[in-house]
Amino acid sequence: MSYSRKTNVLLYGYQLCRTAITRTSCVKDRGVFFDSKLYFHNNVDFLYSECIRSITFRFSSLDCLHVLYLTLVRSKLEYASVAWNSITSADYAKLGCIQKKFASVCFYRYFPRSSYSYTSALERLRLHPLILRRHLLDALFFIQVYRGLKSCFSLLDNASLRVPTCHVRDFSTFSVRPSKRHCPSSRCALATNVVGKDLDKFADGAVSLNHILQACTKPFTVLFD
């Protein structure tokens, strides 16, 4: 399998013991589907088909339904998201429909007398938008690498500390090479620049997604652009 987004790709036929090796356009590696153009459409389609069918739980307790969603659905939607989060806006919306369906099911089942809106449903269910959580997971991975808790040499090569030329209150901590803005490492660095305004990225000790959610109080609309 060859990775390229070019229209005309130069392909070479490989052989092993005079037997031609079959070429494929998609491969599953550690639970993630990688396509030849790295758009991850196959991975999004698989997650959608797997998770949308799971939102059919019937329990009298909202707490039970909430735990099942976090365990069986959202955990799949966030598994290895750092690797495949560079997806199109259409795929973002497709995955977002899963949580929207869960929120509407819970709202109409347990709050029938209240007018429904997705924002109010998330507040009552104590949930955050999936796109926000995936961006924060990008930032979390970047922070863990810089703290030495995880190893990723490509991330350290593509992003570097930015030293401003003058004293300014608001500036990005990390700079990204213009030619590398679409790679996963640069995406993590850009997410960290937003999160870093409210969180000490270089403090000692472990950090989790809950720490980032509690520390960052400003809106994250910039992450959705």
Average pLDDT rounded to a whole number, residues 34-50: 94
31, 79, 108, 127 alpha-carbon torsion, rounded to 10°:
180
Strands 159-161 and 32-35: unpaired
**CA pair distance 33, 57, nearest whole angstrom:** 27
Q: Which residues contact 48 (CB under 8 A, 6 or more apart)?
A: 94, 95, 97, 98
User: pLDDT exceeding 70 applies to what percent of the chain?
Assistant: 88
Q: Of 22-36, 122-136, 169-183, 191-205, which gets the smallest average pLDDT?
A: 169-183
Amino acid at position 78, single letter: E
The pLDDT value recorded for residue 168 is 63
The pLDDT value recorded for residue 28 is 94
59, 119, 82, 193 alpha-carbon torsion, rounded to 10°:
-150
The pLDDT value recorded for residue 183 is 81
Give the ranges where the chain is alpha helix by DSSP (H): 41-52, 62-68, 75-77, 81-84, 89-110, 118-125, 130-146, 153-158, 184-195, 209-215
Q: Which residue has the tokens 């099911």?
A: 105
Mind listing the pLDDT tens digit for each residue in 105-163? Answer: 888 888 888 888 999 899 989 999 999 999 999 999 998 888 888 888 888 888 888 77
Q: Of 11-15, 35-39, 140-144, 193-197, which gets the smallest average pLDDT?
A: 193-197
What is the pTM assigned to this prediction? 0.84
| pLDDT, the chain, mean | 84
pLDDT higher for 172 or 188?
188
Q: What's the token pair of residue 73?
A: 């659905």
pLDDT higher for 14 or 27?
27
User: pLDDT exceeding 90 applies to what percent of the chain?
Assistant: 33
pLDDT tier, 23 (very low <50, low <70, confident <90, very high otherwise): confident
The answer on pLDDT for 43 being more than 50 is yes
> 16 in helix, strand or coil?
strand
The pLDDT value recorded for residue 64 is 87
Calculate Rg over the CA atoms of the chain. Answer: 21
**CA pair distance 170, 116, nearest whole angstrom:** 38
The pLDDT value recorded for residue 4 is 85
- CB half-sphere exposure, 116, CA atoms < 13 A: 14
The pLDDT value recorded for residue 111 is 85
Is residue 66 within 8 Å of 60, Cβ to Cβ? no
Cβ atoms within 10 Å, residue 7 = 5
130-146 and 184-195 helices, crossing angle to 10°: 100
Q: What's the token pair of residue 214?
A: 């509690």
pLDDT higher for 61 or 40?
40
The answer on pLDDT for 1 being more than 90 is no
pLDDT higher for 171 or 212?
212
For residue 108, give the nearest of 55, 54, 46 by alpha carbon.
Answer: 55
The pLDDT value recorded for residue 59 is 72
